[in-house]
Amino acid sequence: MIPALRLPARLRATALAAGALALASVALPVHHAGAQSWRNFDVSRQLTDTTPVLVRLDYEIGTLSVRPATGGLLYGAHLRYDAERANPRYEFTPATRTLRLGVERRAGATARNGDAGELRVELTRRAPIDLELRLGAVEADLDLGGIRLDHLKVESGASEANVRFDAPNPERMRALTFAVGAASLRATRLANANADHIRVQAGVGSVDLDFGGQWTHDVELTLEMALGGATLRVPRDVGIHVDATRRLADFDLPGLVKRGDAWVSPNWETARYRLRIHGRMTVGQLTLEGTE
């Protein structure tokens, strides 16, 4: 849980942001190679209404966790960062209901493995959220179950991302996008995301998509992968239609039959819910596994 602050709710964000900026502005006389100066930055804001919120998280190196907020918070965050090389970034604009969180590298500082800090974020379940994450070399654990996500986009460079939807999204999601470079992505219980269209763009790495959860409508998946492997885990009672192109890639699609240029499951016409997959793979393997 995010530590509670003792200031009145309307003053928390302003006071904490000012304090963090004051700490970051202190000039250090000597920057020794390898020196580190760890700081903590905590911020939160009370929920006053259910107006939609835009949330932008930018995090370059370290560990990141996102989960549903407890109590009456709109959001809460805890950041541990190296003040020798970075400053906390925090901004909430009430007029546009936009929250920006993360770190900014100080001028002349370079990122190193030893700089890995930590960012923990909590988001309300009660207001619709447009969430965008831009990640570098980050180990991310995103527990998004029950958060009212209107839109979700995850961009990652060399990260390892684990995304979970353990509870249904009460909001019908307009779009869900994963854009990963040399990264590993695992997303579970994707039916609970309540998204009409899921797009996954991957460069080099591995993608594991589990479509368990509560199905309420058909889902369309667009999968584009340059080099690596993609595994799709789909409940056996869901109809599957695969329309994919490949160059040096292999397809492992047990139980599906070729129909024209596509592969379909025997229950495609009779299934209550359907997953339509549009794929493009260059080098690697697409594997389909049935689940109960």
Q: Where does residue 20 fall: left (phi above 0), alpha (psi -120 to 50 degrees), or beta otherwise?
A: alpha
User: CB–CB of 200/222 below 8 Å?
Assistant: yes
Estimate to the nearest angstrom the gap between the alpha carbon of 278 and the chain centroid. Answer: 22
Interval 121-133: pLDDT, tens:
999 999 999 999 9
Interval 235-278: pLDDT, tens:
999 999 999 888 767 888 999 999 998 999 999 999 999 999 99
pTM: 0.84
CA dist., res. 146 & res. 163, Å (int):
13
Interval 189-240: pLDDT, tens:
999 999 999 999 999 889 999 999 999 999 999 999 999 899 999 999 999 9
| φ and ψ at residue 164, rounded to 5 degrees | -130, 140
Interval 3-37: pLDDT, tens:
443 434 443 444 344 444 333 333 333 334 455 78
